[in-house]
Structure 1
Amino acid sequence: MAIGSRLRMLTEKIAEDATQLYRLYGTDLHPKWFPVFYILSQGEKKTITALAKEIGHSHPSVSKIIREMSKKGVIVESKDKNDGRRNVVYLSEKGVAINKKIRDQYTDVNNAIEELIAQTRHDLWQAIEEWEFLLDQKSLLRRVQEKQKERESQKVEIIDYSEEYRQVFKDLNEEWISQYFKMEAADLKALDHPQEILNNGGYIFVALYDKEPVGVCAMLKMDDPDYEYELAKMAVSPRAQGKNIGWLLGQAVVNKARLLGAEKLYLESNTILKPAINLYHKLGFQKVVSRASPYERSNIQMELILKGNAYDV
């Protein structure tokens, strides 16, 4: 808000002077018309769409400016000879006369701006370009969302499963599965008997947020020559989403698998679950050739190579 306020104050200060500058030189133009006027002053007829793209304004905004300039007789609007469905605009005789007259104003304003820049320690143009570039790469909203996740994740604790979390393990998984699919026999086998996962050499992790269980994830021991463990049964409460909990649970499984000396980690999912698929890619998983699955809903299988790749730490 402070940045926006300061920029608005600076804009208003310059805009106020700009209005008086046009009066000083007797130029019959409104400052906000200038970008459109300048483009048309190059002599080429333009469509409103082309003007909007060239000056970086919205189509409705440029349409409004065109109407105002046309009403003042500065421009002419007519049908495009090559395409009667489009209108083109160009400077009228009055506009051409203004263009000749405005040259001295250009020179004096440019010299004043150059003098102003020379008196500053920071180049305003370059600073604005840097901000525009960085915000195009990642918006302020996204940057704040990331910082929010970082802060919220500090309240998250990943612990080993114990019997007190048995119902939480089932309820969280049943909630998301039922929302998108249907519960299957393989689901019930794992969720009704979590102790068997542990007895079979697997692990279950629980995410606590402010000491409350809000997420779970299992690492199943596989009886498979290609894979030793499977990341499975990851679920996060809807009320706790957006706090990096899925990422922290995934990391807990990956780190545990590495600690045990596993070479690969396997998982199954469905491409309709886009946030989950994005998370798995972020963890380093890659799609593999489809395998036989105990789940009807499974339409993608992924693996993470734990040794000898960029994710091996």
Structure 2
Amino acid sequence: MEFFNQVGKKAIGSRLRMLTEKITEDAAQIYQCYDIDMQPKWFPVFYVLSQGEAMTITAIAKEIGHSHPSVSKIIGEMAKKGLVDEKKDETDGRRNMVSLSPKGDEITVKIQNQYADLDKAVADIAAQSRNDLWKAMEEWEFLLGQKTLLRRVQEIKKERESKEVTIVNYIPEYQQAFRALNEQWISNWFKMEQADYNALDDPQGYILDKGGYILVALYEGEPVGVCALIKMNDPDYDYELAKMAVSPAVQGKSIGWLLGSAIAQKAKELGAQKIYLESNTILKPAINLYHKLGFVKVAGRITPYERCNIQMELVLS
């Protein structure tokens, strides 16, 4: 076990698989000790059917938590051994009903001593252990049911990588990135419009000189995301959140959230009461981000963009 001591908890899958293989090897030999012709992997299906009722493969799969193809394969293997029978459902000819055969019923009686002896053996191991493995498995199954190991790793990965992102103020050397990042996503989903060219060709004159701001997200020193605050001449809104774009190469690192949060904070520092934005509902990740930032849908207004079909606002407290 020196390997697992060195590798640690990251090898949990390998260690559990090794433990499972050890128990499965013993289980196969235990069946032989009791002269029972059964494979360990058949047991969940056998046990459910041994309760007496004929069942569909779908019902068996649901009961034991296996996939339909897996149960179907096991049923096929058990049928070859003569342990199960399959018949058409009398009420629905499209369904096959599976039940134990007379040979399977004989095993149900014969296996009772094995059940009793195995229960005592497992209890003996539990008595010698400081940890209750059965309860621990129940707890782990519950926790992984709430959030999978994959999801947990993805969230930790995102959190770690987001710490490597730096949000900085726009400077002229980022103009090419500002244009390229925006042009990439606009061209991918829609078409460039005159209002886009106005902002992207001259961000200094169109945005900054009019009292707006642009923030840039750097990842490993490279500009990978941008977002702008455009000063509005409007009695209802102080600024428009616009020209937010993140490179597809770095999506999944919370860069959109970091940019949106930073630009909202910038507006708040400038004394803004409300921020306005325009988007399109086809951009579901962007709309979800705006909702997460606190934006809500508002009634339609006159817009310079053909692609706009939703308008939102954020009230800054």
How would you bin the TM-score normalised by the shorter chain? over 0.9
> Once superposed, what is the RMSD of the aligned Cα atoms?
1.7
1:187 corresponds, among 189, 193, 196, to 196
How has the CA–CA distance of structure 1 residues 239 and 89 changed in structure 2, closer, same or farther, with 3 Å as cutoff? closer
Aligned to 1:137: 146
Q: Whole-Å Cα distance in 2 between the matches of residues 91 and 146 of structure 1?
A: 46
Deviation per CA, 1:143-189: give whole Å up to 9, x if none. Answer: 22222222222332211112222222222211211111111111112
Greater displacement, 62-71 / 119-128: 119-128
Q: Distance in 1 between matches of 2:101 and 2:150?
A: 44
* Cα displacement (A) at 1:28: 2.4
Deviates more, 1:68-77 or 1:114-123: 114-123
| Correspondence for 1:230 | 240
Superposed, 1:87-102 pairs within 5 Å as 87-102=96-111
Change in CA separation of 1:304 and 1:35 when aligned onto 2, cut-off 3 Å: same
Whether 1:174 and 2:180 are equivalent positions in the alignment is no
Match of 2:14 in 1: 5
Structure 1 gap segments, 5+ residues each = 308-313
Aligned-pair distance for 1:20?
1.4
Instruction: Confirm or deny that 1:55 pairs with 2:64.
Output: yes
Amino acid at match of 1:30: Q
Which of the residues 276, 287, 302 maps onto 1:266?
276
Q: What is the aligned counterpart of 1:255 among 227, 243, 265?
A: 265
SS at match of 1:84: coil
Amino acid paired to 1:161? Y
What secondary structure does 1:292 align onto? coil
What one-letter code is carried by the residue in structure 2 that aligns with 1:287?
K
Distance 1:184 1:134 in 2: 49
Q: Provide the residue aligned with 2:37 in structure 1.
A: 28
Q: What is the match of residue 5 of structure 2? A: none
Aligned equivalents of 1:119, 1:291: Cα separation in 2: 73
Q: State the distance in 2 between where 1:210 and 1:15 align.
A: 48
User: Once the two structures are superposed, what CA deviation does each residue of 1:196-251 show, in whole Å capped at 9, x if it has no partner?
Assistant: 31222211111122222222110111222222111110112233323322121111
Aligned counterparts of 1:103 and 1:125: Cα–Cα separation in 2 = 22
Aligned pairs, how many?
307
Find the aligned partners of 1:101 and 1:83 in 2 and give their Cα distance: 34
1:71: which partner in 2? Answer: 80
Q: Can you give the 5+ residue segments of structure 2 that lack an aligned partner in the other structure?
A: 1-9
TM-score (structure 2 length as normaliser) = 0.91
SS at match of 2:313: strand
Which of 152, 155, 159 is equivalent to 1:146?
A: 155
Task: State the 1:140 CA deviation.
Answer: 2.6
- Which amino acid in 2 is paired with 1:78? K
Summarize the alignment of residues 197-236 of structure 1 with structure 2, pairs less than 5 Å apart.
Answer: 197-236=207-246
TM-fit CA distance, 1:195: 1.7
Distance in 2 between residues matched to 1:104 and 1:130, nearest whole Å: 30
2:275 aligned partner, one-letter code: L
Match of 1:114 among 114, 120, 123: 123
Report the residue type matching 1:217 in the other structure.
Answer: C
1:286 aligns with 2:307: no
SS in 2 for 1:23: helix
1:83 aligned to 2:92?
yes
Question: What is residue 310 of structure 1 aligned with on the other side?
Answer: none
Name the SS for the 2:37 alignment partner. coil
Whole-angstrom CA distance in 2 between matches of 1:21 and 1:268: 68
Distance 1:3 1:76 in 2: 39
Q: Take 1:175 and 1:20, find their aligned partners in 2: how far apart are those partners?
A: 63
Whole-Å Cα distance in 2 between the matches of residues 67 and 249 of structure 1?
A: 56
Counterpart residue identity of residue 110, structure 1:
D
**Separation in structure 2 between the aligned mates of residue 97 and residue 193 of structure 1, nearest angstrom:** 85
Alignment counterpart, residue 25 of structure 2, candidates 6, 16, 34: 16
Cα-to-partner distance string for 1:113-149 (whole Å, 9 max, x where unaligned): 2232233232222322333333333333332222222
Deviation at 1:57, TM superposition (A): 1.2
Instruction: Give runs of ≥4 in structure 1 deviating > 6 Å.
Output: none
**CA distance, structure 2, for counterparts of residue 281 and residue 148 of structure 1:** 23
* Distance of 1:289 and 1:132 partners within structure 2: 46
Percent identical? 69
